[in-house]
Structure 1
Amino acid sequence: MQVIPMTAKNRKEAEPVFCQVAALRYAKVLNELGISKEAVLEAENIFGKSQELKAALVNPVITKETKHNIIDKVFSEEMRTFLKVVCDHEKMTIAEQIFAAYEELQNQAAGVKTVYLRYTALPSEEQKKQMGDFIKKKYGAGDIKWVMAEDKALIGGFILQVDGKEYDYSVQGRLNRLQRKLTN
């Protein structure tokens, strides 16, 4: 096994992965605490709406005691202890990722698959239904949460992403595959 020393460059590259792992760990704890979904959603909404609140809770100059007082005044009693722990461990910078990971855990428990769809032209309801039926059959999903984004770089077609697997039905993808075949 090769050990690669941590440098400023690869630390920056690894940081998003570390944040995702930490966010997932905190989300699992939040899920296991049995806090109501409504309380979590309310905290997410409060946190998402106030830049000043975010700035205060991530600011290293502001004392933990002051941050705890802010949490006590702003958030529901159900969420306070959890948020104070996140704050004490200086992880409020990933609060939005924690909430997103929590939502993903909730979706998994409910049998909901998150499907990322990039497209050049918005698919019709019939096309979405066909894609949804494929995903439900392939992954045993009960329901689907669509995250859709227009991407003109695809030239035409679409790309589906589910559980880290990509289904590329785009013109750009076909061109790339053709180019690889011709150069090999």
Structure 2
Amino acid sequence: MTAQVARLTEPYAEALLDLAQSQNQLAPIEQELAELKQLLQTVPELARVLQQPTISPERKKNVLRQVLAGQVQPVVLNFLLLLVDRGRIVLLERIISSFQDMARNLRGTRLARVRSAVPLTPEQAQRLTERLTQLSGARQVELEMTVDPSLLGGFTVQLGSQFLDTSLRSQLQRLALRLSQNVV
């Protein structure tokens, strides 16, 4: 996230975080925002409506009310309506990501982005979480997993500034490089 985008998103994320904490609703609000982020990614039409500058703020608010009525707490819905009023709804996914980062920091949790060639089993994910928790020294590590068949096998992990690559694709590339160096 660029510094300019962070300057726009962080105050909103921080305000919602403060409100969630003051109402002792941090966990439920965090869960609802995660589900909303997932909804925006799986229903691109909703994201397009919210980001379309030619659609009136009132229409965007009506769409949010229709889609989310009874699905989120009033504080979350009111927050989204405020973002529409302030013209910041286009930054919603980034605001949610900032909120999630701030909430993780409060809990002492670190985020590990894991890409694997095939989905990890729950047992594999649990072992990886335990190992990353030991290595990072964090209280807890949360996995954000994606499947990337181009890795051919294995996985990659991004944990803060650390990167671990055990993918078959990477190993084959290193082998090919060594072989090409030995041929010359």
Q: TM-score, normalised by structure 2?
A: 0.64
Mapped to 2, the partners of 1:160 and 1:124 lie a distance apart of 16
Match of residue 12 from structure 2: 26
Q: Report the residue type matching 1:137 in the other structure.
A: Q
- The residue identity in structure 2 corresponding to 1:23 is T
Report the secondary structure of 2:138's partner residue. Answer: coil
Q: Give the distance between the partners of 1:46 and 1:129, measured in 2 at CA.
A: 25
- 5 Å-filtered alignment, 1:16-165, equals 17=2, 21=6, 22-34=8-20, 36-37=25-26, 38-39=28-29, 41-42=31-32, 48=39, 58-61=51-54, 66=58, 70=62, 77-79=74-76, 82-165=79-162
Whole-Å Cα distance in 2 between the matches of residues 96 and 123 of structure 1? 26
Q: 1:68: how far off?
A: 9.5
What SS does the aligned partner of 1:33 have?
Answer: helix
RMSD of aligned alpha carbons: 3.9
Which amino acid in structure 2 is aligned with residue 98 of structure 1? Answer: I
Matched residue, 1:171: 168
How far off is 1:92 after superposition? 0.3
User: Which segment is superposed worse, 157-166 or 27-36?
Assistant: 27-36
Q: Give the Cα–Cα distance (whole angstroms) in 2 for the partners of residues 170 and 164 of structure 1.
A: 18
Alpha carbons 2:61, 2:84 under 8 Å: kept: no
The alpha carbon displacement at 1:125 in A equals 4.8
8 Å contact kept, 2:30–2:100:
no
Letter in 2 for 1:90: G
Verify the 8 A CA contact 1:23 1:101 in the aligned structure 2.
Answer: yes
CA apart distance, 1:168: 0.2
The superposition leaves residues 54-78 of structure 1 with CA deviations (integer Å, 9 ceiling, x where unpaired) of 66654545555x3697478957553
Distance, in Å, in 2 between the alignment partners of 1:134 and 1:144 is 9
How many pairs align?
Answer: 168
Aligned residue for 1:141, secondary structure, equals coil
Residue deviations 1:145-172 (CA, integer Å, cap 9, x gap) = 2222222211221111212432001121
d(CA) in 1 for partners of 2:109 and 2:60? Answer: 35
1:176 is displaced (CA, Å) by: 2.7
> What is the CA–CA distance in structure 2 between the aligned matches of 1:147 and 1:103, rounded to whole Å?
12
> What is the CA–CA distance in structure 1 between the aligned matches of 2:73 and 2:127, rounded to whole Å?
42
